[in-house]
Chains A and B, each alone.
Chain A
Amino acid sequence: MQQVVKRIIFYAAALGIWEAIVKLLNIKAVVFPAPSDIFQALWNGFADLTLVYDLLASFQRLAIGLVIALILGTVLGVVFAKSKVIDDTIGSLILPLQSVPSIVWLPLAIIWFGLNEKAIIFIVVLGGTLVMTLNMRTGIKSVPPIYTNAARTMDYSGFSLFTHVIFPAAIPHAVTGARLAWAFGWRGLMGSELLSTGPGLGYTLKFASDFGDMALVMGIIFIIALIGILVDLVFFSRIEKKVMKKWGLLEQ
């Protein structure tokens, strides 16, 4: 409780000082908007529904991209974990690819798919798939041998061993992979929307910037941060904690 109180006081004070400085020094909103300008811009955006449509469009792309990324990443991770030949060859590509921000592929994606939904979704898929693959591979490879040994003494082998023991044992890693896939996908989505046509949060941000509406730019940055935190805290952190606890990986 203490912590919450401290934070509320801190944020209230920070916003108050920010507002005061901007107003006292008479800084123009186009250079540095005050909190009240940002609030007004967001209010207008939601009132005329543009931000609502933006959010819906962005989430739709993200959802499609993430579903593809999670499926693809899971399959690839399993293949790499199970086949040493494929892991030593194609698998060695994953890490270098992962160190490239997915957004830099946008120029190529635009040539391949055109400046449309597909190009953006491609960037989201790329950002999410690689981390999912890496985590899934680690998950499958680090299944405790005691589980597989125990299952083998109970007549499980081959495919049934995989579906009943190895895959479920890897789920904690898969959850971490999904969480990271969301984070990377979200970044890729915002980046590629900046360079695309609307609607979409990133597109509206670029649009506002072209018209010098810095209050809306900062407002959208706040929304992006807020969504990032909310999805992580409300959704992924909870699932991860639950799974870790159930799988006995968390000390009580």
Chain B
Amino acid sequence: MFSIVIAVVVYESLVVLAYLLCWRLVRGVDTRLPILSTVGGDAGTRTGYPAPGRAALRAPSLAWQLLTFLLGATVLASVALLATAALASLRGALIAAEVASPVSMDPILLRLALPVGHLVVLLVLYQRLRGSVLFPTVAVHLFLIVFCLLVTAFDPERMAINRLTLIPIFATNLVLMVVTHGLLTLLFCRNRLELLAAVILAAIGGGILALGTMVIALVSMLNAGPLFFFQLYLVSAFGIFGLYFCASSIVLSLFARD
């Protein structure tokens, strides 16, 4: 199982790097909003109409909305399915390497590898991001480590690995990502160039989804019960959707002009 742990940790380190890269790009973006502050000529007290807010969302035609949504959904789903199939051989190779590997690890150490690894990554991020923002997640990981040790000590059967079908997890994440990407595309995408960017982002999203699902599959061979499901949440939230949002942020901060 050693190479699987390494693969998962490499993936999660890449996620952390993506977050740090994203933050380096985002922190320089000026997001201050000039307030509406015209003097006089005031609506409401003078014209009888309440003061209006900012410009309304400019909705494009229905045909354009349908095109952008369907194109994004098709590309995202296609890439996700194709990449999942392509990554299956990599997963197989990793598992085969496990069988052939002369290195064997204690199962308790294996169970602890990921929560402890996360804790180390979180503590590094805690320093980098200068604040208590990650405190709750640090606390949750400490809890999980203690929980894992206790269950292993008193009821090891509970931690036995069962073979799980990953299709519902993949399907749920795929639907959520198609909806997320589709709605954001409808909001942001207004011309052909932006449509091209949205399609590229959809392809990246599909790739991320396939990679994330493979990592979940690998994790399911290491952990069971609550540990696996917590890992599932972390990979889904940060490793799939977080990474997708990082990609969209990088695209936005590099190309969007308001």
Does A pair with B? no
Binding site for A on B (CB under 8 A): none
